[in-house]
């Protein structure tokens, strides 16, 4: 145990801390987080459109007319379906902020560069004939979730070039007395011109290939293989929860680190599930970010089970009180009272079930969904503070998701119980010694 703790403290923790603070990964992570509220808003309208209740669609049509179903989904179209435009702006903005340069100009250059690299034509069918329509930015496709990887790369490259120009003073200098806002705008002129010319050349280069656009190239060579090998299979899911739990064991928020890396590969899978639901089909993908939301019952490590054990099985007065105080936060997936109060962080005994619990229910949940015993995630995003069981129902759109989370809590309780018993026994002994020493002191007085 001491060797494990020494390795975590002296080797793993410094590496993980450095990774979490890496400028570009932080910009990607913060960019997605800043856009997350809008995805939740879009998801709320998806729930309204496709609420899992018999006769809901017919009721909507009866009350509001036949076209209401497509009208109410418009907020989803302007959030999910042009997501890449928002993401390229958000990441450019966050990275520019870290360099302390004009973040707004970086975001605008990110958007314009992304559009330059993307198709601006589409096809429509009229009376059985296909027509090409030019000068169109489509809703969905490469402007939606499929273009996220290109959006990330574009944001990083554009901001790095912009930063190079600014830091090396390759800008147009305005005379003194010119308002700062005007001066700052003109400082983006030279780097902006260079960046857009460069993106135009990249577009021209890919038009000469079979891919036509960089999106197709990146999607086939990077995104699809990553989805198949890492993002959308059981082993990748196990690796994800293992990494997040291990990072939490040393006090680092593993979700912000790992999710920031994996989210670009999960989002297209989630969008495919949404598209299937809209078409009246079953969701094709099990692994989405919402799959992991169902794992983290009570927060990372699925620690709501620990709260129940402390409340109902622990004999230590301190642990019982900790369980009671941790219940309200745990019901809203806030785990810090358990992580730092038990503690689990840097506790060799607690680290083992912290990792084993989520891994076990990841396997159970994946197999339950793979064999269609439990409904798969619909792709709807809900706030991470949504209480468990309600969360499972909303994520899957089915009562089976709620039942699965109850089963998960019981499984994690079984895994944690032997370790809680060890810690509880030790804590009771310590409390008994404190009481005994206190009695002795009062007798001596």
Residue 14 lies in a domain: no
> Which domain, by its residues, includes 370?
289-444
Q: At what angle do helices 13-20 and 23-49 cross, to 10 degrees?
A: 70
Domain co-membership, 202 together with 347: no
Residue 279 lies in a domain: no
Domain co-membership, 64 together with 195: yes
338: left (phi over 0), alpha (psi -120 to 50) or beta: alpha
The number of folded domains in the chain is: 2
Domain co-membership, 293 together with 224: no
Domain co-membership, 116 together with 202: yes
Domain co-membership, 73 together with 174: yes
Residue 242 lies in a domain: no
Mark which of 204, 229, 254 sits at the end of a domain: 229
The shares of helix, strand and coil residues in the chain, as percent rounded to the nearest 5, are 70, 5, 25
Residue 16 lies in a domain: no
Domain co-membership, 139 together with 28: yes
| Beta-ladder partners of 132 | 123
pLDDT of residue 241: 93
Per-residue tokens: 50: 């496709």
Mark which of 200, 229, 258 sits at the end of a domain: 229
As a whole number of angstroms, the distance between CA 152 and CA 94 comes to 12
Residue 212 lies in a domain: yes
Residue 237 lies in a domain: no
Q: Which helix (H) or strand (E) element contains residue 246? A: helix 234-248
pLDDT of residue 440: 53
Per-residue pLDDT of the chain (445 residues), as tens digits, is: 566 556 656 666 676 667 667 889 889 888 888 888 888 888 888 878 877 777 788 888 888 888 888 888 899 889 888 989 999 999 999 999 999 999 999 999 999 999 999 998 888 878 778 888 888 888 888 898 888 889 999 999 999 999 999 999 888 877 777 777 777 778 889 999 999 999 999 999 999 998 899 998 988 887 777 777 777 889 999 999 998 998 888 777 778 778 777 888 888 888 889 888 888 888 999 999 999 999 999 988 899 999 999 999 999 999 999 999 999 989 999 888 888 888 888 787 888 899 999 999 999 999 999 999 999 999 888 888 889 999 999 999 999 999 999 999 999 999 999 999 988 988 898 888 775 565 555 445 5
Domain co-membership, 117 together with 211: yes
How many CB atoms neighbour CB 137 within 10 A? 14
Mark which of 209, 229, 249 sits at the end of a domain: 229
pLDDT of residue 68: 87
pLDDT of residue 443: 44
Q: CB burial class (10 A; 0-12, 13-18, 19+) of residue 346?
A: middle
Query: In 3-state terms, what secondary structure has residue 130?
Result: strand
Residue 273 lies in a domain: no
Residue 254 lies in a domain: no
Domain co-membership, 317 together with 201: no
How many CB atoms neighbour CB 228 within 10 A? 12
| Beta-ladder partners of 124 | 131
Do the Cβ atoms of 287 and 233 come closer than 8 Å? yes
55: left (phi over 0), alpha (psi -120 to 50) or beta: left
pLDDT of residue 435: 59
As a whole number of angstroms, the distance between CA 416 and CA 407 comes to 14
């Amino acid at each position: 145990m001491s060797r494990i703790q020494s390795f975590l403290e002296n080797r793993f923790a410094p590496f993980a801390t450095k990774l979490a603070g890496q400028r570009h990964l932080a910009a990607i992570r913060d960019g997605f987080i800043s856009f997350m509220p809008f995805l939740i808003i879009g998801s709320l309208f998806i729930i309204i459109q496709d609420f899992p209740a018999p006769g809901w669609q017919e009721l909507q049509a009866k009350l509001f007319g036949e076209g209401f179903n497509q009208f109410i989904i418009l907020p989803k179209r302007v959030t999910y379906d042009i997501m890449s435009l928002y993401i390229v702006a958000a990441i450019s903005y966050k990275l520019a902020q870290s360099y302390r340069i004009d973040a707004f100009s970086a975001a605008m250059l990110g958007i314009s560069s992304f559009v330059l690299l993307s198709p601006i034509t589409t096809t429509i069918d009229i009376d059985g004939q296909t027509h090409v329509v030019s000068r169109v930015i489509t809703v969905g496709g490469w402007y939606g979730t499929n273009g996220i990887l290109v959006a990330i790369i574009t944001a990083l490259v554009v901001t790095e070039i912009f930063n190079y120009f600014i830091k090396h003073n390759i800008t147009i200098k305005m005379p003194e007395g010119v308002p700062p806002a005007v001066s700052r705008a003109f400082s983006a002129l030279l780097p902006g011109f260079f960046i857009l010319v460069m993106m135009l050349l990249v577009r021209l280069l890919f038009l000469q290939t079979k891919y036509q656009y960089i999106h197709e190239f990146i999607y086939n060579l990077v995104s699809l293989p990553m989805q198949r090998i890492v993002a959308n299979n059981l082993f990748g899911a196990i690796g994800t929860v293992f990494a997040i739990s291990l990072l939490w064991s040393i006090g680092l928020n593993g979700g912000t680190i790992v999710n920031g890396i994996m989210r670009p590969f999960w989002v297209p899978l989630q969008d495919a599930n949404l598209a299937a639901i809209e078409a009246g089909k079953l969701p094709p993908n099990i692994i989405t970010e919402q799959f992991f939301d169902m794992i983290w019952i009570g927060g990372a490590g699925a620690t709501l089970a620990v709260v129940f054990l402390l409340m109902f099985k622990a004999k230590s007065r301190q642990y019982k009180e900790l369980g009671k105080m941790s219940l309200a936060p745990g019901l809203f997936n806030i785990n810090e009272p358990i992580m730092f109060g038990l503690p689990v962080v840097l506790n060799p005994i607690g680290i083992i079930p912290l990792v084993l619990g989520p891994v076990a229910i990841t396997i159970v949940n994946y197999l339950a969904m793979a064999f269609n015993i439990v409904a798969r995630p619909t792709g709807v995003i809900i706030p991470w503070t949504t209480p468990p069981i309600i969360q499972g129902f909303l994520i899957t759109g089915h009562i089976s998701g709620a039942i699965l989370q109850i089963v998960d809590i019981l499984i994690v309780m079984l895994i944690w119980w032997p370790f809680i018993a060890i810690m509880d026994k030790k804590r009771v002994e310590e409390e008994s010694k404190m009481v005994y020493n206190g009695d002795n002191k009062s007798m001596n007085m």
